[in-house]
Amino acid sequence: MSTPAGGTVGQRRWYYPALATPGIVWLLLLFIMPFYAIAAVAFGTRDQIFALPIPAWNPLEWQFETFSETARELFASGGLQAQFTRTLLYVGTSVVLCLLVGYPVAYYIARYGGRIKVLLLTLMIAPFWMSYLMRMLAWVNLLSVKPDDPGLVNRLLLLTPFVHDPIAWNSGTVSNMTVILGLVYGYIPFFILPLYAALDRIDRSQLEASRDMGASPASTFWRVTLPLSKQGILAGAVIITLPMFGDYYTPNLMTASPENTMIGNAIDLALQGGQGTQPKGAGLTLLLSAFIGALMIYYLVSVSRAAKEAQR
Amino acid sequence: MVYHPRDPAHRSVSRRDFLRRSLAAGVALPTSAAILAACGDDGEGGPGPGGDDQIPRFGTLDQPVTLQTYDDNPPIDSNLEPEAGPLVIYNWEQYLWKPVLRDFGKKYGVEVKYETFYNMEQAIQKFQSGEVDYDVFFPTIDYVPKLVAGKLLQPLNHDYLGNTKNLWPAMQDPYYDLGSQYSLPYTIYHTGMAWRTDIVPVEPEELAAGSNPYEIFWDADLAGKVGIYDVYREALALGMYRDHLNDTDLNTSDPAVIEAARDRLIELNDLVGVKTTIDGAYAGVPEGKFGLHQSWSGDIQAGPWYTSQPRREAPLLRYYWPARDGFGGTIDNDTYSIPASAKNPVLAHLFLNFMMDEFNAIKNWTWVGYQVPFSAVNEDTIFEESYPGLEGWFVWDYAAPEGKHWDNLKSTIVTEEDFDIGKRATGLPVEVDELWSSAYAEFKAG
């Protein structure tokens, strides 16, 4: 039995840390445990009859043969490496395009949205009330070339003097653009929203100060607005990069071509019920997580550095 | 196919899609020739008894197998009273028509439940966990020997299965399970090619008259218009047929042959930018998104339903199965079986016998879209006149002129003779299977 005073001290000691419990439980149940299960499959064995994975829950029993083979394949030329390089290219290009398209939108809404800011944001997000699948399928139909119908996009392009024949969006070099279009279209609102929040937070007096000091509007943008919105750009990039690296359904839906498969497709192929290929899929998942983890560390370091600078 | 083609609400993912996904095995470890040599060319387990009981016996047409039986896994006794149920069916999504289940429930006064799995691995993991009490299960034939070796199926007592006499004779004693000890055939289909003549202006007769119908896929003029199934065995088989026609060995363990097939697919990709799809045959070709697609007979049979203007576009559809002209082609069937852990094994036997009744099986076929192997089913009785009591119920009747069928899709009907000439893809030992799946993964990496 504790004294009333001791009880108060105990309450104080545990009250605030206890608030973290739901988050910790959530993290344990939905991140740490599944992640450990993936590792147990990646480093486990397979049964002899069905070739189904037997997870090795005890780290002392882990076998690294399959995993190191997968890692080697990722760094050897061909196969997985081609898919990984393609993934980097697709994700990189998509992020740059999201920035080029998304920044002006976020900037306009934050600076000039005025009283209709909320309306503009809502309108921008409105198409995304529909499922991702439906939106991709809509693009497939807009781009598909049929015997008596070149597709809506081609019909528009044929009106211009630059295009004379319908473009086959799902084959050749163009198919890469098609997948990138799908990625940008699918993820751009998740880039714009954090960026908008960052731009909206910029204190206008800082911009006015820049102008008062004689900076031109362009100079103010480059030397004040852009640096101040860097964290928003990074946050938006992180939010869209993470799911893009694991994406496999966008290339599947947009072109269904081996020329456009990403690393997510390799994981999908290994995990979707192949006979005995799940450990390899799990290994690839770990390798991809490690790569994304490295990117995240860069992001966190950059955020903390920015926070320190802000305190100065 | 698992939707009902007449029902727009079910135009989602088909049962064949699930099958495709389940078969679309991915990347695997490179395996050495030494492992292969250890496996032997015939795979593991020969005909008849013998060998290690826990090793799956994969039969081939040349070497049919009797699956092993176990003293601790006997069939049920004869003349037992059926249990009270409910009977639990464990199947691919939308791979059995609910009204047929209701008919069974009404006949025996029991409740019938229908539960679904996403792929074979998921189903097997559930069985292994021992937490399930399914009474009827639908394995693919490559999994039957494995399920038997894992003691997850119980032997059938044929005293309850008098209706199996309705099956085609060849189906009563299949090479993968001689005597149908553990399984009965469900649906049948062959793998051919489907196309639209407005994109690919070729008639089946022209392909038959040529020297190699499979070459049509490798036609650079069709760039962007060609698709194959996203199923490793089917895709690589296409590469093999291209080179070896009727000499193709669908169950080969020869790395050189498998790699050559992979290279053929890579070449196909370079030439036409081939697509790997799950819906290209039954939807893509009819919609005009594809000019040519590898196709299961049952997929394109439902094609008219997917055209935007059936009267104009359905007559453009063609299906060709090269085996009929000696070029080689794949034919296959799915199965029913009863899990060892079934809570209602007598009822399950009665259900299988019920589905072996011609009328019930054909009624189910009108909705599932995949054909059943019964003596009453042949081109004339079904395609010309339809089955008595089920006139106008069939998929291919959709929007056909004057209630007639589409003549151009008549070749999609699988006949008993087709099983004499078609090649069968059987289960493979794990190491060989890895060779196939890693070759496919390399092609898919682009």
Question: Which residue ranges form the domains of chain B, and what is each CATH number?
Answer: 13-188+332-397 (3.40.190.10), 189-331+401-444 (3.40.190.10)
Whether A273 sits inside 8 A of B24 (CB atoms) is yes
The highest-confidence range among A12-21, B108-117, B390-399, by mean pLDDT, is B108-117
Whether A171 sits inside 8 A of B224 (CB atoms) is yes
> Any CB–CB contact under 8 A between B198 and chain A?
yes
Determine the pLDDT at residue B49: 42
Tens of pLDDT, residue by residue over B179-217, are: 999 999 999 999 999 999 999 999 999 999 999 999 999
CA distance A45 to chain B (A): 13
Question: Which residue ranges form the domains of chain A, and what is each CATH number?
Answer: 64-311 (1.10.3720.10)
> Any CB–CB contact under 8 A between B244 and chain A?
no
In chain B, which among 406-425 make CB contacts under 8 A with chain A?
none
Residue B398: pLDDT over 80: no
Residue B6: pLDDT over 50: no
> Any CB–CB contact under 8 A between A250 and chain B?
no
Q: Which of the four pLDDT bands, split at 50, 70 and 90, describes residue A165?
A: confident
A265 contacts in B (CB within 8 Å)? Answer: 444
Residue B26: pLDDT over 60: no
In chain A, which among 264-293 make CB contacts under 8 A with chain B?
265-266, 268-277, 280-281, 284
The chain B residue lying nearest A255, using CA atoms, is B275
Determine the pLDDT at residue A9: 54
Lowest-confidence pick of B23-32, B100-109, B231-240: B23-32
Test mutation, A275, A280, A284, A288, chain B, max B CBs within 10 A: A275
Determine the pLDDT at residue A256: 87
* Average pLDDT along chain B: 84
> Any CB–CB contact under 8 A between B442 and chain A?
yes
Tens of pLDDT, residue by residue over A170-208, are: 888 889 999 999 999 999 999 999 999 999 988 888 888
A170 contacts in B (CB within 8 Å)? Answer: 224, 273, 275
Tens of pLDDT, residue by residue over A106-152, are: 999 998 888 898 899 888 888 888 888 898 989 988 988 887 788 89
Residue B38: pLDDT over 70: no
Per the listing, tokens 């149940």 go with A29
In chain A, which among 173-212 make CB contacts under 8 A with chain B?
175
For residues A6-19, give the mean pLDDT: 70
For residues B382-390, give the mean pLDDT: 77
B150 contacts in A (CB within 8 Å)? Answer: 49-50
Tens of pLDDT, residue by residue over B138-175, are: 999 989 999 999 899 999 999 999 999 999 988 889 99
Determine the pLDDT at residue B195: 97
